[in-house]
Amino acid sequence: MSTTPRFFVTGASGQLGRHVVAALAERAGPAAVAAIVRDPARAARLFPEGVAIREGDYDRPETLDAALAGAARVLLISSNALGARVAQHGKVIDAARRAGVERIAYTSVLHADVSALGLAEEHRRTEALVAASGLPFTLLRNGWYTENYTASIPSALQHGALIGSAGNGRISSAARADYAVAAAAALIDDTGPRVVHELAGDTSYTLAGFAAELSRQAGRTIPYVDMPEADYRAALLGAGLPEGLAALLADSDSAAAHDALFDESHELARLIGRPTTPLAETIAEALRA
């Protein structure tokens, strides 16, 4: 097997990126993988031995040409810098084009082209930049990570209730690791000029259903309390969340009330070759943590 990295992952030190690098290393071998991070010294222990680590920062475009030199296929993991993401992503796409990569993949959001989620707009604009690059591409339109909701378990246990603004909307989430395995598979296997994957969990639930499963595992009743979007946003701000994140979560819940996070295509399971991780399993992991 070649010792030259072939599969490059930007934003590799993040929660999704670390899983993707591990999945790529398992399937293609560590020597075939390059992890692009802002601070290589701090990231040295995050990845399997043999994975190349390169410096590349979305906010320092001068680092990106060297970071992507020799890349065959690149996964652009979306930034978490709300409002600045399109400009950041554009710099990576430009560097990938200059590097002459065979394919670029991007982690977008479920049904980005029609989604009512406020966060979908930056994804739509990034998808347009990817398409305009002229490179063969894959769009990984990821549904919700179950961890987005399990992160609220400590607060729900402390206060005796799970709060939200999703009404009876159906949520087809999957574990972050499921999406990472899918990203690795697509980066290795996808062919053709334009591939779009709509990715979501095999089964859906409401937040009331989430609260019921949490109650079962916790051994006490944790009800779901549905709130108007503005009230939920205020509650998140009161809990100390930054304004931008509180607004994003409240908007996402409000859109979820109208099934913006629902999908029944089962494409994620097909791509990873197994059922997606059940809600109960991710809740159990969160409780153990």
Looking at 199-278, list the stretches that DSSP marks H as alpha helix, in order from N- to C-terminal side: 207-218, 229-238, 243-256, 267-272
Q: Which amino acid is at 121?
A: E
Q: Note the pLDDT of residue 282.
A: 98
Q: Note the pLDDT of residue 1.
A: 42
Q: What tokens appear for 135 in the block?
A: 């490179």
Q: What is the pTM of this model?
A: 0.95
- pLDDT string in tens for the chain (289-residue length): 446 899 999 999 999 999 999 999 999 999 999 999 999 999 989 999 999 999 999 999 999 999 999 999 999 999 988 889 999 999 999 999 999 999 999 999 999 999 999 999 999 999 999 999 999 999 999 999 999 999 999 999 999 999 999 999 999 999 999 999 999 999 999 999 999 999 999 999 999 999 999 999 999 999 999 999 999 999 999 989 899 889 989 999 999 999 999 999 999 999 999 999 999 999 999 999 8
Q: Any idea of the CA torsion for 155, 144, 77, 36, to the nearest 10 degrees?
A: 50
Q: Note the pLDDT of residue 8.
A: 98
CA 187, CA 114: separation in Å to the nearest integer? 24
Q: Note the pLDDT of residue 3.
A: 62
Q: Note the pLDDT of residue 58.
A: 95
First and final C-alpha spacing in the chain: 38
CA 104, CA 8: separation in Å to the nearest integer? 10
Per the document, the length of the chain is 289
What is the CATH T-level fold of the domain 7-142+176-198+264-273, as seen in this structure?
Answer: Rossmann fold (3.40.50)
Q: Using an 8 Å Cβ cutoff, are 220 and 77 in contact?
A: no
CA 281, CA 289: separation in Å to the nearest integer? 12
Looking at the chain, list the stretches that DSSP marks H as alpha helix, in order from N- to C-terminal side: 15-28, 40-43, 64-68, 85-99, 120-132, 147-150, 153-159, 176-189, 207-218, 229-238, 243-256, 267-272, 279-288
Q: 56 φ, ψ to 5°?
A: -160, 125
